[in-house]
Amino acid sequence: MLELSDPARVTAGIVLLTVVGIESGGYFLVKVVTGKVAATGFQTSFFRAGHAHAGVLVILGLLCLLLAEATDLAGFPRWLAATGVLVGAILLPAGFFFSAMGAGRRSPNRAVVLLPLGALALAAGVVTLAFGLLTAG
């Protein structure tokens, strides 16, 4: 049986609860694509991207959280390996959704800055985890 550290167990439990939020985003997206919520083509594509990134990155983030338990990393590198993808799972969807908000928007607003920040968190997390796994005892 896999034994999780207390921080990993609590983090995984909280992250699993976010799936309900992702589901509500899916409901909103259905309303957009069926025309019940007015949106430009730009907004529809960014809303789709935000929803897809949220779902995929939460799954990848949970996997990374588990894999980090198999490393010898400690301190900040351990935290980054375990949660970097989860930070990306917050920043990337937020960047897509927030930068497309506003009636009739046809291009992103300043919240688009969250996209490269999320990509950086994602990359830093997976590279740190890969290093931790390849160098583990």
Domain ranges of the chain: 6-135
Distance CA 33, CA 14 (A): 30
Distance CA 57, CA 61 (A): 6
Check residue 2 and give its pLDDT. Answer: 72
Q: Record the pTM.
A: 0.92
Check residue 1 and give its pLDDT. Answer: 67
Phi/psi for 37 (5° steps) reads -125, 125
Residues of the chain where predicted confidence (pLDDT) is lower than 50: none
CATH topology of domain 6-135: Helix Hairpins (1.10.287)
